[in-house]
Chains A and B, each alone.
Chain A
């Protein structure tokens, strides 16, 4: 690597920029926006972006894992509500809080497993299966809660959002740990690499002895796990869970991987860029609010900016061919 930098410094810089362009885009937009809206450069807002972005980032990571195998999981936003809600109900029924916390990701994995089995065994398209699952789970939460948000969560449950190390809440460190493990898993483990291979070509993977359906099921279990973690982290920060408290994150969770260059047809995706993609989307949402775009225009402007970011990525893909 060192010799490449010495021999082709410009080429290496170009490759570096192209490979991690999402980060350049994120930092660039942050700085440029800061010139017009200086408040967003304050440490308080920076911390706010960092904390609020954790939910979108966790959901985007889960979405990326299924996108890698060429699938999509729209049920993630419902899993993000259902899993913590199920765990809280179990706590109310007498389960100790630590056990309820452990139950949350298990529920997410379980739902992901159901999705995966239906999609691989019954050959239901993932879009259809996960929309059905989304609808059902949201319905279950509505039935159980009668449409009322569940507040008054136990203190131990809220530790992540309440304990601070310096000015930074514990949940940021928890989030970083999860992100590092996920990147390590995707890049350095057999199952992680096989997700890329299966997404690249199911036929080739199968011919070379990779258990394609098992890998696809695992990808849905991981997306369920990340959805549950996103739900847990958010509820520990906000102090409540409701049937639709995660729905507004669905579009960001899909947009972030796409901006980061994750292929919708599978086989390609860099998790380091997905972090930048998620924070870019979070930044856009905040900038639009901080910039005073009011009322009915908010969603339109947010969507427009995300669309522009996706166009920039499409241009990059044309240049690099990846």
Chain B
């Protein structure tokens, strides 16, 4: 269970978030929506340790957390997947997957990359959720949904309890949307991962999330079950 209580964030005189609170049970998906500048990304950055709140607190399983950096949040098993920031386009899928934690084999000073094993494990990790991806393709050649699948699969390799997805569903085709919804549901179900999703794609957010929270001007204007609200109502909450 994650509990966010009265989070405030100001940048100089600009108030980006004001007393935002929510609770989310383990294994549930929260869709965070709002117009540009509503504070969605700021809230996600606070949860991922990228920004520190001006006031308020975050509790994980009842324990108060203070994240000074994304590394702090990662230690507390909170992972974030950005679609466009964390992949190296010129590198292959398996290279992106094992980036920063490469597997090696060898003796003494003669330590070399275990490329066959990395390729095999990447393929296995991705196919576990029903997705198929040629691990030898370059990340720059992948479609929007394939990039998303790669970024999310890599993020959950660290075995997080909470996965944050920031604006990850742009550039998706219609089939791609379906693929990513199925994939994320499977990830959520299999790993019992709590997810917080920020997106402008309201259909997708509503389809995927158990709960919806709408922010406007840095304030929470709606929080409730996804089934209890229509897209039109979400839009009306978003507009001033």
* Chain A residues in the interface with B (C-beta under 8 A): 184, 188-190, 193-194, 196-197, 199-201, 203-205, 207-210, 263, 267-268, 322
Question: Is the CB–CB distance between A200 and B112 below 8 Å?
Answer: no
B174 located at the interface, meaning its Cβ lies under 8 Å from any Cβ of chain A in the complex: no
Question: Is the CB–CB distance between B102 and A208 below 8 Å?
Answer: no
Contact with A along B152-171 (1 / 0, CB 8 A): 00000000000000000000
The stretch of B83-91, B188-196, B198-206 in contact with A is B83-91
Instruction: Known contacts A204-B87, A204-B88; decide if A193 and B95 are in contact (CB<8 Å).
Output: yes
Contact with A along B94-135 (1 / 0, CB 8 A): 010001111010000001110100000000000000000000
A267 surroundings in chain B (CB, below 8 A): 88-91
Question: Is the CB–CB distance between A203 and B85 below 8 Å?
Answer: yes
Question: Is the CB–CB distance between A204 and B113 below 8 Å?
Answer: no
Instruction: Known contacts A190-B113, A193-B113; decide if A263 and B104 are in contact (CB<8 Å).
Output: no
Among residues of B, the one whose C-beta sits closest to the C-beta of A208 is: B100
Which of A188, A201, A209 has a CB less than 8 Å from the CB of B100? A209
Question: Is the CB–CB distance between B111 and A197 below 8 Å?
Answer: no
Question: Is the CB–CB distance between A208 and B111 below 8 Å?
Answer: no
- CB < 8 Å A-B pair total: 61
Question: Is the CB–CB distance between B99 and A208 below 8 Å?
Answer: yes
Question: Is the CB–CB distance between B100 and A189 below 8 Å?
Answer: no
Q: Which residue of A188, A210, A268 has the most chain B CB atoms within 10 A of its CB atom? A: A188
176-212 of chain B: CB within 8 A of chain A: none
**Prevailing SS type, chain A contact patch:** helix
**What's the least CB distance linking B82 to chain A, in Å?**
8
Q: How far is the CA of A267 from the CA of B99 in the complex (A)?
A: 14
Q: How far is the CA of A193 from the CA of B114 in the complex (A)?
A: 12
17 additional contacts (CB under 8 A) given A184-B112, A199-B90, A208-B101? A188-B113, A189-B111, A190-B104, A190-B113, A193-B95, A193-B113, A196-B90, A200-B90, A201-B89, A204-B85, A205-B88, A207-B70, A207-B86, A209-B100, A210-B99, A267-B88, A322-B138
**What's the least CB distance linking A16 to chain B, in Å?**
15
Among residues of B, the one whose C-beta sits closest to the C-beta of A265 is: B90
**What's the least CB distance linking B113 to chain A, in Å?**
5
Q: Which residue of A193, A197, A204 has the most chain B CB atoms within 10 A of its CB atom? A: A204
A209 surroundings in chain B (CB, below 8 A): 100-101
**What's the least CB distance linking B194 to chain A, in Å?**
21
Contact with A along B11-24 (1 / 0, CB 8 A): 00000000000000
**What's the least CB distance linking A193 to chain B, in Å?**
6
Q: Which residue of B104, B111, B113 has the most chain A CB atoms within 10 A of its CB atom? A: B113
Q: How far is the CA of A114 from the CA of B234 in the complex (A)?
A: 57
Question: Is the CB–CB distance between B87 and A201 below 8 Å?
Answer: yes
**What's the least CB distance linking A88 to chain B, in Å?**
30
B99 surroundings in chain A (CB, below 8 A): 197, 204-205, 208, 210
Q: How far is the CA of A202 from the CA of B222 in the complex (A)?
A: 38
A322 surroundings in chain B (CB, below 8 A): 90, 138
B100 surroundings in chain A (CB, below 8 A): 205, 208-210
A204 surroundings in chain B (CB, below 8 A): 85-88, 99
A210 surroundings in chain B (CB, below 8 A): 99-100
A207 surroundings in chain B (CB, below 8 A): 70, 82, 85-86
Which of B70, B91, B113, B115 has a CB less than 8 Å from the CB of A197? B91
Instruction: Known contacts A204-B99, A210-B100; decide if A197 and B88 are in contact (CB<8 Å).
Output: yes
B85 surroundings in chain A (CB, below 8 A): 203-204, 207
Q: Which 3 A-B pairs have the closest CB atoms?
A: A200-B88, A208-B100, A267-B90
Q: How far is the CA of A210 from the CA of B102 in the complex (A)?
A: 10
**What's the least CB distance linking A42 to chain B, in Å?**
41
20 contacts between A and B (CB under 8 A): A188-B112, A189-B111, A190-B111, A193-B95, A193-B113, A200-B88, A200-B90, A201-B88, A203-B86, A205-B88, A205-B99, A205-B100, A207-B70, A208-B86, A263-B90, A267-B88, A267-B90, A267-B91, A268-B90, A322-B138
Q: How far is the CA of A196 from the CA of B101 in the complex (A)?
A: 15
Instruction: Known contacts A197-B95, A208-B99, A209-B100; decide if A189 and B113 are in contact (CB<8 Å).
Output: yes
**What's the least CB distance linking B35 to chain A, in Å?**
26
**What's the least CB distance linking B48 to chain A, in Å?**
11
Question: Is the CB–CB distance between A193 and B88 below 8 Å?
Answer: no
B111 surroundings in chain A (CB, below 8 A): 189-190
Among residues of A, the one whose C-beta sits closest to the C-beta of B114 is: A188
Q: How far is the CA of A199 from the CA of B90 in the complex (A)?
A: 9
Among residues of A, the one whose C-beta sits closest to the C-beta of B70 is: A207
B82 surroundings in chain A (CB, below 8 A): 207
Q: Which residue of B86, B91, B104 has the most chain A CB atoms within 10 A of its CB atom? A: B91
Q: How far is the CA of A201 from the CA of B87 in the complex (A)?
A: 8
